[in-house]
Amino acid sequence: MISADTLRTVVGIVGNVIALGLFFSPLPTFIRIWKKKSVEEFSVIPYVATLLNCMLWMLYGLPIVHPNSTLVLTINCAGTAIEICYVILYLVFSDGPKRLKALFLFFGDLAFVAVVAIIVLIFFHTHDYRSLIVGILCVIFCIIMYLAPLSVMAVVLFYVVQKMVIQTKSVEYMPLSLSVASFLNGLCWTIYALIRFDLYITIPNGLGLLFSITQLVLHALYYKSTKRQIAERKLKGEVGLTDVVIDDSVKESPVISSHKIEAPTNNE
């Protein structure tokens, strides 16, 4: 029979793999930035916010703060490294106010986490107290990310997308792959936290799990109608040449009545 610790380790490893995929999801954006040598209108805020989140969880996973959290530590070390690369690329290809803002936020993240680490390690001498302080900060900053102006816009956008999906009965613009990945990630880390109960890991991942379940339900409800709408749109894109009126002055071009051409589509 599999022990609870073994099961927790297996779930954590799976969670590491899935979370790593989510960390790499912005890669196409930075490939575009690299090719165009410009950040265009992209914002640095999502990346410095994720960086702060990863660094706090990395601190939480340290053995001197919260023992037996190796898998929390490993994935957030990886996430920290990836997000630092994103921020550095943003700094390289930005200029003026955008670069100054990115620098301020980046060094603000580093300074904040350094101060928290120093205070926790110097003034709190037990694992329980250190876990409590850092865990509360992790949960607070997850909530602040939802309540901050940009994050409120993101949450509003989330509900607007859901409303649009319900009204149009189409999930075309809500990628199934991302919804599935988010669901699996939230599920793995929620199970991981519940096997050996950890409130601070349970809260953010439980919320993420609820959001992703909502998306998957919408996919199940509107999958067929989405396929039908896409098919109907393709049919509308076909224009019968019998509907094309040819100017009488063009004597060399008789009206062709039996063929159809497909209207050009935007592949960008």
What's the pLDDT tens digit per position in 72-98? 999 999 999 999 999 999 999 988 898
Tell me what the mean pLDDT of segment 102-131 comes to. 93
Look up residue 119 and give its two tokens. Answer: 């205070």
pLDDT band at 175 (very low <50, low <70, confident <90, very high): low
Angle, helix 96-123 to helix 127-147, in steps of 10 degrees? 150
Identify the H or E element spanning 148: none
pLDDT for the residue numbered 240 = 42
For the cut 90, the answer to whether the pLDDT of residue 139 exceeds it is no
pLDDT for the residue numbered 102 = 92
Predicted structure pTM score: 0.71
pLDDT band at 161 (very low <50, low <70, confident <90, very high): low
For the cut 50, the answer to whether the pLDDT of residue 255 exceeds it is no
Task: Output the CA–CA distances (angstroms, integers) from residue 113 to 54, 90, 139, 174, 248, in the order listed.
Answer: 10, 21, 14, 34, 76
Identify the H or E element spanning 262: strand 260-262
CB 72 within 8 A of CB 188: no
For the cut 90, the answer to whether the pLDDT of residue 201 exceeds it is no
Query: 142 or 129: whose pLDDT is higher?
Result: 129
Look up residue 201 and give its two tokens. Answer: 């890991």
pLDDT for the residue numbered 114 = 96
Residue position matching structure tokens 């409303």: 163
DSSP 95: -
pLDDT for the residue numbered 90 = 92
pLDDT for the residue numbered 9 = 86
For the cut 50, the answer to whether the pLDDT of residue 149 exceeds it is no
What's the pLDDT tens digit per position in 7-45? 888 888 998 998 888 888 888 888 888 988 888 877 888
